[in-house]
Structure 1
Amino acid sequence: MDEIDFRLADGRILHGYDSAPGDDSRLVVVWHHGTPNLGTPPAPLADASEQLEIRWIGFDRPGYGGSTSAPGRTIASTAADLTTVLDTLGIATCALMGYSGGGSFALGAAAVLGPRVTAVATLAAVAPYDVPGLDWYAGMIPSGVASLEAAVAGRDEKLRYETSGVEYDPEFTESDVAMFGGPWGWLGSVAGEPAMPNGPDGLVDDDCDYVLPWGCDPATITAPVHLIHGTADRIIPSTHSEWLAANLPNATLDLHPGLSHVSILTHATPALTWLRQAVPKNR
């Protein structure tokens, strides 16, 4: 896995990853990481990626890992950073995969990049905030509600909240906890402190992004979208993907009874297979 620092037009650094530098024979899939994670493409999908001839591209969102913080960023502005990555690497088109909040950034990138995106797969994505027809907080764990309500109050309040010593309780289900004993224990190496060596800016700005206007309209996405969600998820309730499926023009919804926020990753390999099948071999 090559690591690359991309310099953006405003002088920021975006720390990125490329699993197969220069290999134009593979389908490029951009990984959009969850909150609070690094952007390293998922190691548990390495074997499937080889079989499917996938080239992974990823980057730490601003404020995470080696990427410069960008207070005031939005989902659309972060998606626009991907243009620099693709142009620098000489990549014309790509597919996208996003997990958890990364699903929102994947959808935002598809809206911003238009025809450069050939297909999108999300696992436990977050829907836009305060949209008609969705009770955004319904079914969400109390820690999640408190954290996101702090973001609604503004970036300063969200930063104060995150530095107050408050502890976030994800209330993982038994099926979630079991995942950490297998390949997806990898999440522990990219989440939390490893992702935030310079403070909580990445987490703060992610949560603010989720409750601010995206700056782009997911309804304009032209690429096919596959939304995967577990019905037992209380970190991001499955009603978020249900709303997205009802409001995106080319979306399919794959709900899994009993699966939750981490255990839904058992469907990451099928999601990757769907991406490979959705994009013609010559793309």
Structure 2
Amino acid sequence: MDATTSVTLDLPDGRTLRAHATTGDPDAGVVVWHHGTPQSGALLAPVVEAAARRGLRVVSYGRPSYGGSSARPGRDVASAAGDVAAVLDAFGITRAAFVGASGGGPHALACGALLGERATAVVSLAGLAPFDGFDWAAGMASDAALRAAARGRDERAALADDDGVAGFVEADWAALRGAWGALGEDAGPAGQAWPDGAIDDDVAYASPWGFALADVRVPVLLVHGGLDRVVPPAHGRRLLDLLPDAQLWQRPHDGHVSVLHALPVALDWLVDLTA
């Protein structure tokens, strides 16, 4: 894996953020990776390797209550944009593309909507849509955590032990045994170490996001697996309907994790945008 550096940022509101970046050519394109729920925010080898093969640097960070980042009570999805701006400043980065997997998808879209000219594009892999205007639970293997989150943080906290893997299909387990093993190795300990991160994530997903998808003016690539029972394919179609400049790649034989095999091609899409 490429050489990396990590920093702990002290923010004006008294919080800290733990962030990580690959080093290298300062003029290289940058991808900000938005992790799923739960994860530590550490750099993942398959992300770094796919980016490096395309001449891209990677930045990642732990959302509040994850991976050494302090809590941000009551955070919404939109709040990620301000945190990411601080991370970019810390690494001396002017512009970036934002890539999110699963719960990272909404946070990547927030950056695309709110960071203006600093945003070049967004990729959302198996990302959630806002929970309004369509039957967001249809096809989910388990919607208990998100339904509880919609009723408030206290109710979601009562389900903090939900492991979130009920919807995995065999293609997902195969991905975790293979190229995406690093994700599983990170997610399990992250869920145990930082349960508040997952609780606050779910409450943010099930509440108003704090920005309109119509305000995402950069190009967006949506990638969704047809077998996904964690975030069903209807979420990808809903996002496609709501975003001004988006395209949807549907992968009929992929689930929630195995769809990440599309990351290298999605990064090719990003590179082609600026070629």
**Do both share a fold (TM > 0.5)?**
yes
Percentage of identical aligned residues? 43
Question: Contact 2:145 / 2:162 at 8 angstroms: preserved in 1?
Answer: no
1:192 Cα deviation from its structure 2 partner: 2.7
Question: Contact 1:114 / 1:221 at 8 angstroms: preserved in 2?
Answer: no
Residue aligning to 2:216: 221
1:104 Cα deviation from its structure 2 partner: 0.8
Residue aligning to 2:58: 56
Residue aligning to 1:146: 144
How far apart in 1 are the matches of 2:63 and 2:11?
A: 13
5 Å-filtered alignment, 1:22-33, equals: 23-33=25-35
Residue aligning to 1:126: 128
1:167 Cα deviation from its structure 2 partner: 5.2
1:89 Cα deviation from its structure 2 partner: 2.1
5 Å-filtered alignment, 1:32-43, equals: 32-43=34-45
Q: Deviations over 1:73-120 (max 9, x none)?
A: 011112211111112222111111100010111001111112210011
Residue aligning to 1:5: 8
Give TM-score scaled by structure 2 length: 0.94
1:241 Cα deviation from its structure 2 partner: 0.9
Residue aligning to 1:243: 238
5 Å-filtered alignment, 1:203-282, equals: 203-280=198-275
Residue aligning to 1:172: 168
How far apart in 2 are the matches of 1:28 and 1:206?
A: 25
Find 1:159's aligned residue among 157, 160, 182: 157
| SS class of match (2:154) | helix
1:196 Cα deviation from its structure 2 partner: 4.9
| SS class of match (2:106) | helix
Question: Contact 1:39 / 1:59 at 8 angstroms: preserved in 2?
Answer: yes
1:62 Cα deviation from its structure 2 partner: 0.2
Q: Where do 4+ consecutive residues of structure 1 move more than 4 Å?
A: 165-169
How far apart in 2 are the matches of 1:194 and 1:136?
A: 26
1:166 Cα deviation from its structure 2 partner: 5.1
How far apart in 2 are the matches of 1:156 and 1:3?
A: 33
* Matched pairs, number: 272
Question: Contact 2:140 / 2:167 at 8 angstroms: preserved in 1?
Answer: no
Question: Contact 2:99 / 2:108 at 8 angstroms: preserved in 1?
Answer: yes
How far apart in 2 are the matches of 1:212 and 1:194?
A: 23
1:154 Cα deviation from its structure 2 partner: 0.5
| SS class of match (2:41) | coil
Q: Which runs of 5+ in 2 are unaligned?
A: none
How far apart in 2 are the matches of 1:124 and 1:168?
A: 14
How far apart in 2 are the matches of 1:200 and 1:159?
A: 9
1:252 counterpart letter in structure 2? Q
Residue aligning to 1:137: 137
Q: Deviations over 1:172-228 (max 9, x none)?
A: 21111111221201112210323552x411000000010111111121111100000
Find 1:68's aligned residue among 70, 84, 87: 70
Question: Contact 2:99 / 2:122 at 8 angstroms: preserved in 1?
Answer: yes
How far apart in 1 are the matches of 2:230 and 2:85?
A: 30
In angstroms, what is the RMSD of aligned CA positions? Answer: 1.5
